[in-house]
Amino acid sequence: MGGIHKSKSTSDHVTGTRVTATSLESGFEHITAAGALDPDITTSFITSGDAIALTLAAGKVNGAVKIVKMISDGGDATLTPASFGDNTTITFDNTDSWMGIFVNGSWWTIGTPTATEA
């Protein structure tokens, strides 16, 4: 079944806990179809069965960090953040390609990612 699955890990179980607009959820989402990534969840894993288009709304908390990683490549996943530094898209084109981004008014990259910015 395709879609977006969101979870928050705790010491003994997984729940679907949500966040307020002023905080971050320390958890993950698993993306399997085109759609929007949640800017409040810190980690997004992508499994693509075909090429998919993804979006990411503006971050709500300056200093927030988000990691996006493709864990299975059945086609390119192209992410278009609402505001992305000097670029417009991030393409995940291989298994294990990743991008670390943080909020400082816009989304900005962290370190030396293996996904491609354009």
Architecture category of domain 27-110 in CATH: Sandwich (2.60)
Q: Could you tell me which residues come within 8 angstroms of residue 92 by beta carbon, excluding any fewer than 6 positions away?
A: 46, 48, 68, 69, 70, 73, 76, 77, 78, 79, 98, 99, 115
User: What is the rounded CA–CA span in Å between residue 80 and residue 84?
Assistant: 8
pLDDT tens digits, one per residue of 6-39: 544 333 333 444 434 445 567 899 999 999 999 9
Tens digits of residue pLDDT in 77-97: 999 999 998 889 999 999 999
Burial (CB count <10 Å: 0-12, 13-18, 19+), residue 115 = buried
Q: Over the Cα atoms of the chain, what is R_g?
A: 13
Mean pLDDT, the chain, whole residue set: 83
Structure tokens at 35: 């759609």
